[in-house]
Structure 1
Amino acid sequence: MTVEFNRETSFGWMINVVASQASKQLDSALKPYGLTAALWPTMMCLWEKEGVTQREIAEKSKVENSTTTRTLDKLEKLGLVERRNDPHSRRSFRIYLTKDGHHLKEKLLPVPMTVNQHLLNPLSTDEQQQMLLLLQKMIKGM
């Protein structure tokens, strides 16, 4: 029996469309601040907790360590983060927000909430909660 691909019932295709749209909207909203959707997870991690290692940021934001290196380089050039020597390891750094990085938090935290709400708008409140719970369950299972 041959199974035919139908994009309208393909989870992968649909989740990719939603993720792509979310990324475009987030990029557009962050552009005035010199940021992109790719830089966002690292900023979120640091607003939650500073003084973490690059590896901890990569794990928490679910991206490769090499991607996190490039992200931190960009954020450092923007003057939003700084690397400080790790007192426990000569080969690693601890990552901290700069004054400018701290100041962006209150301005930017509402941005993804607005994007998320726009994307979830076609769903009822119960469907939105169910969608989030199901996605959380999937992520925990990865």
Structure 2
Amino acid sequence: MDIQDRQDDELVRQLFCTTRIFSRTLNGCVAPLGLHSSEWMVLNFIHLNSGIAQADLIRHFKVEAAAITRTLSRLEKKGLISRHPMEKGRGKYIELTASGQDLFAQAEP
């Protein structure tokens, strides 16, 4: 293994550790609100892009459709979002409910 390979391996390890620390820290911050970090990330994105299409969430987060669907279902069961059919074509658009807006206002700081 040459020096460049070792530097690349170290960079990957550092990135992995950093993202794990960030995820654990975020989970600790949003857990008292009854959320997981993935739910917070989606909730935050919906807040910033009200009326966003579910397909746009999938593209933005670069995850499988099923993963976004599960997260949205959990947020919907908690009363934080609502999904509505799009006027044209297939798909749904998502927006925060009043409860979702209240929770976001509490969590944002």
Which category describes the TM-score, using the shorter chain as reference length? 0.7 to 0.9
Compute the displacement of 1:100 (Å). 0.6
Q: What CA distance in whole angstroms lies between the structure 2 residues aligned with 1:24 and 1:6?
A: 27
Which residues of structure 2 form unaligned runs of 5+?
Answer: none
Question: Which residue number corresponds to residue 75 of structure 2?
Answer: 75
Instruction: Check 1:109–1:85 CA distance in 2 against 1; reply closer, same or farther (3 A cut).
Output: same
Q: What CA distance in whole angstroms lies between the structure 2 residues aligned with 1:57 and 1:80?
A: 16
Instruction: Let me know the Cα RMSD of the aligned residues.
Output: 2.1
Compute the displacement of 1:63 (Å). 2.9
Q: What CA distance in whole angstroms lies between the structure 2 residues aligned with 1:45 and 1:104?
A: 14
Which residues of structure 1 form unaligned runs of 5+?
Answer: 111-142
Compute the displacement of 1:3 (Å). 3.1
Q: Using the aligned pairs only, state the percent identity.
A: 26
One-letter amino acid matched to 1:101: G
Counting only pairs closer than 5 Å after superposition, residues 1-142 of structure 1 correspond to structure 2 as 2-3=1-2, 6=6, 10-89=10-89, 91-110=90-109
How high is the TM-score relative to the length of structure 2? 0.86
Aligned length: 108
How high is the TM-score relative to the length of structure 1? 0.68
SS of match in other structure, 1:10: helix
